[in-house]
Amino acid sequence: MYRDIYDEDHEIYRDTVREFISREVTPYYDEWESAGQIDRKVFRAATESGIYGLEIPEEHGGSGVSDYRYRSVVCEELARARATSVSISFSNQDDLVLYYLLDLGTDEQKTRWIPRFGQGDLIGALAMTEPGAGSDLRGIRTVAKRQGDRWVLNGQKTFITHAISSDIVIVAAQTESDGTSLGLSLFVVEAGMDGFARGRKLEKVGLRSQDTGELFFDNVQLTDSHLLGEAGQGLRYMMAHLPRERLGTAVAAVADARSIFDLTVDYCFERRAFSQFIGDFQTTQFALAEISTELDIAQTYIDRQILDYNASRLTAVDAAKSKWWTTELQKKVIDQCVQLHGGYGYMLEYAVGRAYIDARVQTIYGGTTEIMKGIIGRDLSRSR
């Protein structure tokens, strides 16, 4: 389909991204998946090539480019290269950790951490989810209590992207001062701090090389220099930053589904059955026609949201709509593509088989489909 959201600079950048992936990702990706860990050197190479961290200001060693279309190009090209774990890892930095630090950090905090991000020497994680609190952020039980001039952090987190490899972790915790609850606050915990421990690296169904794990905090001593933003404002901050995370998830979902669909179309006109290509059967043509149409509609909607985000018009409700719709579509499309591949689609040596297990979590993390529908439904109720 024709898309008019990119200009010449974006297409030149696309060539840079493709060259980076072919040099730094594709030759090693299967090895990383088998080892269950992405080599940290790819983060350094990525920042050197401008693949992520473009929004880092010039004073901290970046280019200060905030146009989200560049992020979209990276998502599309990593999907085309079938490097899903790397795509999610880069998104975790650009759409989450860096976004929080650049938006909420003090000058001192930015000077302390942002240049290391820009050099690819620092990997961050965002720790919200707990064993008893997922989409319900108000259910967070990790606590930071004020004691003198310090905060003492206790609790645990789970299902945290980059839990094992991260150098800093933005932790959401309930805060108390003088016995009074302040609500949720955000703290930056650094690797090596006393009382900060990493638990198990969790064995996921898919996304094998993107590390996910548990984190534990046992009387971790923090100063106000580790408080991100104002105490008690954590929930408001997280609500304000979720639209970008969900936009990133939606962009990647459509790109991933499109990539697998394109591979499936090729397969349907290479594979023969009953003396003809399986793509020549009417049932196959109908299935491909439906997928193609749905992907074009989803892409049109996402392209508009990218432009809305650039213009500061993307709302939490609109982001919720795109997040649930595109991830459910991604799941549906890839399932249909597995079916069209037949037995080969169930083999991990085929990209469609790997995509099938990698994509399943998309409707869960970043807010489940049910939570997204709840956000939309409550907005409709309020408007009446």
In a domain, 1, yes or no: no
**For 196-216, how does the pLDDT look when each residue is reduced to its tens digit (9 = 90+)?**
999 999 999 999 999 999 999
Given a cut of 80, whether residue 323 has pLDDT beyond it is yes
**CB neighbourhood size of 182 (10 A):** 17
Average pLDDT of the residues in 341-356: 94
pTM exceeding the 0.85 threshold for the entire prediction: yes
Given a cut of 80, whether residue 1 has pLDDT beyond it is no
Contact, 305 vs 62, CB < 8 A? Answer: no
The identity of residue 355, as a single letter, is A
**pLDDT on residue 213:** 96
**What does the CA dihedral 322, 328, 330, 332 come to, rounded to 10 degrees?**
-150
Q: Which residues pair with 124 in a beta bridge?
A: 168
In a domain, 330, yes or no: yes
Number of Cα atoms under 13 Å in the Cβ half of residue 96: 23
Q: Do residue 189 and residue 84 come from a single domain?
A: no
Residue with tokens 């080969």: 344
For a pLDDT cut of 90, what percent of the chain falls above it? 89
Given a cut of 90, whether residue 269 has pLDDT beyond it is yes
**For 128-171, how does the pLDDT look when each residue is reduced to its tens digit (9 = 90+)?**
999 987 777 777 999 999 999 999 999 999 999 999 999 999 99
**For 170-186, how does the pLDDT look when each residue is reduced to its tens digit (9 = 90+)?**
999 999 877 777 889 99
Q: Do residue 219 and residue 107 come from a single domain?
A: no
Number of domains in the chain: 3
**pLDDT on residue 308:** 97
Q: Do residue 21 and residue 145 come from a single domain?
A: no
Looking at 122, 149, 164, the residue that finishes a domain is: 122
Q: Which residues are known catalytic residues?
A: 245
**pLDDT on residue 182:** 83
Measuring CA to CA, which residue among 55, 77, 78, 86 is closest to residue 68? 55
**pLDDT on residue 132:** 81
